[in-house]
Amino acid sequence: MSDERHADELYLTEESLTRLVDELLTAGTEVIAPAVTGSCASPAAIASAACLRPGAAPELIEYAALHDASQMALGRGLPNLSLKGFFLPQEEALVSWRRRGTGLELRGPRVDAPSRIALGVKPCDAAALEIVDKVMNWDTKDELWNGRREATTVFTLACPVEDESCFCAAVGGTPDGTRGADGLFTPVEGGYMVQATTDKGRAFIDSHLAAHAGEPAQSDSLRRQAAGFRSAARERIAGHLAIDGPAIRDWVAANFDDPLLTSLGIRCNGCGACTSVCPTCHCFDIVDEPDGVSCGTRRRCWDTCQTGRFTSHASGHNPREDQNVRFRQRINHKFAIYPLRFGEILCTGCGRCTRVCHAGQDLVEILSEIDDAARRGRPAVTADSDGGGEG
Amino acid sequence: MTIYQPDLVTVVDVIDETPDTRSLRLEFQDEATREAFGFHSGQFGEYSVFGAGEATFCIASPPTRPGAIECCFKLVGKVTTALREVDIGDTIGFRGPYGNWFPVDEWRGKDVVFVAGGIGLAPVRCVIWNILDRRDEFGDLTIVYGARTVQDLVYKRELQEWQARDDVTTVVTVDPGGETPEWEGRVGFVPTVLAEVAPSAANAVAVICGPPVMIKFSFPVLEKLGFADDAVYTTLEMRMKCGVGKCGRCNIGSVYVCKDGPVFTAAQLKKLPAEY
């Protein structure tokens, strides 16, 4: 990334950011940002990299709709859950019904969300939004997703690379990315350098942020500091996982029954934690919740391909009966099916699935193995020929 | 209104096909929707009983007979149990039509062979009536239909109607042991009877739907009769939720059954991982 792109960066001090956020909140604008929402004593905190940082306070970070600016915890680690819940909520109403005699009245949810701003978003979480846009719009349009996407201005915060589980660069991302976002914050001494990358981002800067920005005498040095932060992060991630995405795509698609792909679930307990924390997993269930006798709400809820119920037919037949093939589906969907259908890897390398897994499933390790097989052009091995044949 | 909000439909008829299989005839409550609604043979919908949820069935009535749609379902799960409770005059929900369809227009001038088992006749029936309503456009028609027992045959009155017509050959069979003393039809499994009936594959297509085991053993019979894999059409059943390619449930290999299917040729099926 050329640093000319960052030539019109503005400087925003921590205090100015706090004032800006308070001003937005006072005006009734929803502001979403990483915030400390609890302590790491909670079992749910396993994924929080902040908990593991030497000397760090044992805090649990989540993206949250702020009540006041003091809650903001920018750059204090990877939020436990990704940002996806603000676009595809864990559960939401699709339609409510009320019976009147033999008739029925239906009421749908509002699709025009009020405008809001997300700050301090991890580049991997913002990129996921643009990737999931594809499935939400490839034929029919999901109005609920699109309404929230249109209403939200997203600024990423350049990431220092949290830990060894991060691999955004392996799947086309970068720790200072703005994909799926409207602009970028880069941490510098005393605050942030801020830049818009879309019209939506520029409009936000012009109407809200610019008034709080300063033009300090040392702006050149701050710009250099920001550029240094970004290039150091890029250098750091370059030392992590490196894979050949197209080779993996083609190999997985062509070697469906390879023992490597049919034994992936041995360690997996099928709990679905990986799909919950994943910024790109978007599969959902639709369930009816009666609210008394005559009314109720139909909701969609996050679902997971890692449970047997996901595909089981009412007849009892289940096309994916064991955990190995369910885990293969997860890999297949992310690294072959979605790339073939939508031209995108359904993974942004956030590493949450690896961090959260209590059984030790490690996507970094799995991808390395598949990449190895794909690069070597390893042919499909059948049970008969495995270890037996010549050469 | 979102893509997930159903249209309201009134149940205008309830027909018991077998002790555990029932047909519903449904009419859109909104007049404009009723007028505008169109679909192709093979497309499906999401039928909902509010409070129980949605279930996926093909539209079993033909597009050549607009005004109302029909579905046929077997009592197996939560939603079908609730659907058994609805009566004439009740309101339920419908979303659709979804998915692809049998390319009936491309079959003009060809012979068509229908092979169905059990409740698998429902999607095939939609095509049968579509073609019978446009009889002059097609060549010879053959129907081979079977069920486990005489009692399990669906659309019994229509089977008689088709058997009485001289412009379609209709052969009905029941599995060995499923016959009654009064049964005058064939006794034998569908693939066996199909081999005996031996419809010509020259300038012909086959439409097949039924239990997996019936499909599995009928494919080789059709192949032996000379049907090419791309002249054999079937419709896949998968657990679905959204029906519009979002929820990820019906994904097999590179295919979303709700968008790329449910209709596939045998040639397409052979390329898919066996996860259906």
Dist CA B237 CA B239 (whole Å): 7
The secondary structure of residue A35, as a DSSP letter, is: E
Give A319-325's long-range contacts (Cβ < 8 A, gap of 24+): A319/B238, A319/B252, A319/B275, A319/B276, A320/B275, A322/A265, A323/A265, A323/A266, A323/A268, A323/A269, A323/A270, A324/A262, A324/A263, A324/A264, A324/A265, A324/A266, A325/A262, A325/A265, A325/B275
Question: Smallest Cβ distance to B251: which of A139, A143, A337?
Answer: A337
Burial of B248: CB neighbours in 10 Å, binned 0-12, 13-18, 19+: buried
Interface of A with B in 328-357 (CB under 8 A): 329, 332-333, 336-337, 340-341
Which of A322, A337, A344 is the mutation pick for testing B, counting most B CBs within 10 A?
A337
C-alpha A235/C-alpha A212 separation (Å) is: 32
Q: Identify all chain B residues contacting A333, using CB atoms and an 8 Å cutoff.
A: 248, 251
| Tokens 């760090």, residue located | A56
Confidence of residue A2 (pLDDT cuts 50, 70, 90): very low
Nearest-angstrom CA–CA distance, A40 and B142: 69
Pairwise CA distance, residues B65 & A248, whole Å: 49
Domain spans of chain A? Answer: 4-81+114-238, 245-376
User: Count of alpha carbons within 13 Å of A228, Cβ hemisphere only?
Assistant: 8
- The 10 Å Cβ neighbour count of residue B202 is 11
How many contacts, defined by CB atoms under 8 Å, are there between A and B?
124
CA–CA distance, A22 with A139 (Å, rounded to integer): 40
Residue B276 has pLDDT above 90, yes or no: no
Nearest to A97 among B3, B50, B242 (CB): B50
3-state secondary structure of B85: helix
Residues in Cβ contact with A289 at an 8 Å cutoff, skipping those fewer than 6 apart? A296, A297, A298, A299
Question: Is residue A52 scored above 80 in pLDDT?
Answer: no
pLDDT tier at B177, thresholds 50, 70, 90? very high
Q: How far apart are CA A110 and CA A143, in angstroms?
A: 9
- Tokens 């915890």, residue located: A73
Nearest chain A residue to B272 by CA: give it: A256
Structure tokens at A309: 């119920």
Q: What is the pLDDT of residues A112-149, one digit of tens each?
A: 889 999 999 999 999 999 999 999 999 899 999 999 99
Kindly determine whether residue B247 and residue A284, on different chains, have CB atoms separated by under 8 Å: yes
Q: What is the pLDDT of residue A40?
A: 59
Residue with tokens 């996407």: A149
Percent of chain A with pLDDT over 90: 76
Query: Are the CB atoms for A169 and A127 separated by under 8 Å?
Result: no
Q: Check: CB of residue A221 under 8 Å from CB of residue A19.
A: no
Q: Say whether B76 and A283 touch across the interface (CB within 8 A).
A: no
The 10 Å Cβ neighbour count of residue A206 is 11
Of B212, B246, B259, nearest to A142 by CB-CB distance is B246
Element spanning B207, H or E? strand B204-209
Only one residue has tokens 């409009």, namely A203
Residues A262-286 have a mean pLDDT of: 94
Mean pLDDT value of segment A78-106: 94
In angstroms, the CA A77 to CA A159 distance is 9
Rounded CA gap, B199 and B222, in Å?
9
What structural domains and CATH numbers belong to chain B? 7-98 (2.40.30.10), 104-235 (3.40.50.80)
Comparing A1-15, A165-179, B196-210, which segment has the lowest mean pLDDT?
A: A1-15
CB within 8 Å: A288 and B249: no
Cβ within 8 Å of residue A126, ≥6 positions away: A83, A154, A156, A177, A178, A179, A180, A181
Whether omega for the bond prior to residue A43 falls within 30 degrees of 0, making it cis, is: no
* Single-letter amino acid code for the residue at B62: P
B212: closest chain A residue by CA: A317
Nearest to A111 by CA among A63, A154, A150: A150
Sequence letter at residue B173: T
Q: How many Å apart are CA A90 and CA A81, to the nearest integer? A: 11
Q: Does A313 touch chain B (CB under 8 A)?
A: yes
User: In A, residues 290-309, which contact B (CB 8 Å cutoff)?
Assistant: 290, 296, 298, 300, 303, 305
Which residue has tokens 């001038």? Answer: B109
pLDDT digits (tens, 9 = 90+) for B214-223: 999 999 999 9
Report ipTM (2 d.p.).
0.92
Q: What is the mean pLDDT of residues A181-207?
A: 96
The DSSP result for A61-75, as a single string, is EEEEE-SSGGGB-TT
pTM: 0.92
**pLDDT of the residue at A218:** 72
Percent of chain A scoring above 70 in pLDDT: 89
pLDDT at A186 over 60: yes
Tokens of B76: 């197996």
Mean pLDDT of B247-262: 90
DSSP H stretches of helix in chain A: 14-26, 49-52, 123-137, 143-151, 199-204, 219-238, 245-254, 259-262, 273-277, 323-332, 338-342, 352-356, 363-375
Alpha helices in A184-317 (DSSP H): 199-204, 219-238, 245-254, 259-262, 273-277
- Identity of residue B76: V
The answer to whether the bond into A109 is cis (omega within 30° of 0) is: no
**Distance from C-alpha of B227 to C-alpha of B266, rounded to nearest angstrom:** 10
Mean confidence (pLDDT) of chain A: 89
Inter-chain touch B1–A325, beta carbons under 8 Å: no
Q: How far apart are CA A89 and CA A300, in angstroms?
A: 9
> Does residue A43 surpass a pLDDT of 50?
no
- Helix or strand or coil: residue A146? helix
CB contact at 8 A, A248 and A378: no
Contact criterion met (CB below 8 Å) for B174 and B80: no
Indicate if the pLDDT at residue A387 is higher than 60: no
Q: Which two tokens stand for residue B8?
A: 């309201």
What mean pLDDT comes out for the span A221-241?
95
Contact B50 A104 (CB under 8 A): yes
Strand-by-strand arrangement of the B169-174 sheet: B186-187, B169-174, B141-147, B111-117, B204-209, B232-235, B263-265
Polymer length in residues for chain B:
276
